[in-house]
Copies of this chain bind each other. A is one copy, B any other.
């Protein structure tokens, strides 16, 4: 393992991480699995690391892809004025966030009355586009899309300590994958730039696509139908279907990541599981909603909990590293 330190006038690994249990557990784990002859040695091809995206590698308050969809609904309503009187296009045009919040609150209370409209809006947003059209739109979104409260480009909303972690693992022979509940073809347009993760290592949710042949060619067209919501127990199945191996390293931040973290554990082989805990209202956000069970299991099973407030000396690359 190549760990350099300040004495050698080189940047130490995980430089945006404060000294502490979280940083040390990562360094110790990587040393164990990369030390040849150690009982915990894991050969390079088996060094698979999987990362949730929203809330683990970048901000999820609000979910970034929603901004893309809201923009698309406004665009659709401009092109077809009849949509302006229908939800969710009406709320998007009026920037009526209350309608969306109420729909979600009603849903959690068992009232599904707004769900058909919301669901139709989500599924038809990109219906009929080719996969390349969609990729182009996602790329365009990331060129200018800006976070409403953090006042930075979405593509600058990646967590600097996690990007350092990706590089540290890579330097130690790991292959990093994203396994996200977010949209696969959306994340793929930005994962290379932010995380250095190539498109083929992004696993995520998707609407159905279907091939339409045309002479000696053809396109994949997006359908108004959910293909898969890549969350919870589906994360392990999709990791296996894509990679054919069990990861030894898994990082998440919410209940939807629990099965992925469990799946990474196959004794006697070592495994490291990380849970990012959002407790940093000053620099990012402070919330536990959606992470109650994962935090309880982290305590029960000894997963490494990362306190954004205490374990990271900076959150975003635009901030200075504090020594």
A residues adjacent to B (C-beta < 8 A): 45, 131-132, 135, 175, 184-185, 188, 198-200, 202, 206, 209-211, 213-218, 220, 227, 233-234, 236-237, 240-246, 258-259, 262-263, 265-267, 297, 300-301
Contacts and interface: CB of A to CB of B under 8 A. Distances in A.
Contacts of A242: 200, 242
Contact of A265 (B184, B216, B241): B216
Contacts of A244: 135, 184-185, 188, 199-200, 202
Nearest to A300: B216
Given A217-B262, A220-B237, A243 B200 contact: yes
Nearest to A218: B262
Nearest to A243: B200
Most buried by B among A209, A237, A244: A244
Contacts of A209: 237, 240-241
Contact of A266 (B213, B217, B243, B266): B217
Contacts of A241: 184, 206, 209, 227
A115 to B, nearest CB: 26
Nearest to A214: B262
Contact of A245 (B199, B206, B297): B199
A295 B185 CA distance: 34
Copy number in this complex?
A: 2
Contact of A236 (B200, B218, B246, B262): B218
A215 B258 CA distance: 11
Given A199-B245, A200-B243, A213 B301 contact: no
A210 B185 contact: no
A265 B216 CA distance: 7
A135 B240 CA distance: 12
Contacts of A184: 241, 244
Most buried by B among A185, A216, A265: A216
Given A184-B244, A245-B199, A259-B218, A236 B265 contact: no
B199 A243 contact: yes
Contacts of A200: 175, 242-245
Nearest to A301: B216
A236 B211 CA distance: 7
A200 B211 CA distance: 23
A233 B217 contact: no
A131 B240 contact: yes
A244 B246 CA distance: 22
A311 B185 CA distance: 40
Q: Closest 4 CB pairs between A and B? A: A199-B244, A216-B301, A211-B236, A217-B265
Contacts of A234: 211
Nearest to A198: B45
B45 A213 contact: no
A188 B297 CA distance: 33
A245 B243 CA distance: 17
A202 B215 CA distance: 28
